[in-house]
Amino acid sequence: MSQTVSPLPQPENHRRRAFLRGALAVVASPHISACSSTSFPPVRPITRGPAHHWFGYYDKLAFDPTERYALGMRVGFEGRPPPSTDAIRVGMVDLADGDRWIDLGRSTAWNWQQGCMLQWLPGQPGRVAWNDRVGDSIGSR
């Protein structure tokens, strides 16, 4: 039985970024700090558009042991499931050098929730791993 799947509606341009700007404005509001006993840590963006950047999954190490580098994934679209032909860029942000993006490679084995399982390898400074397609199989880099 064949079923036609219609694409998801495309989100408004930069809707997520507009939401985050508004959220940061609320957190920075003097009214919030005056009403709350909870203090928030400093927050700042470390990547820039027009590409979309993220890190996932919750149990993976995003920062190297020195906390200078933050891993991330980058892609040029949002708002639809990725087919196996869509590649993301895998990289890291140098937080001590103007948040410079350092490209590490690519992956076609990813999804929006988990990314490509990009992570620092515990106990192996300077080494990262992520899932990728290798021929018709899934492997790691």
Summarised one tens digit per residue, pLDDT across range 33-89 is 555 556 888 888 999 989 999 998 888 989 999 999 999 999 999 989 999 889 999
Residues 119 and 103: their CA atoms lie apart, in Å, by 14
Question: Is residue 10 scored above 50 in pLDDT?
Answer: no
Single-letter amino acid code for the residue at 133: R
Yes or no: say if 69 and 61 are a contact pair by the CB < 8 Å rule: no
- Say what the pTM is: 0.70
Classify 134 as helix, strand or coil: strand
Residues 67 and 62: their CA atoms lie apart, in Å, by 9
Yes or no: say if 116 and 123 are a contact pair by the CB < 8 Å rule: no
Yes or no: say if 73 and 88 are a contact pair by the CB < 8 Å rule: yes
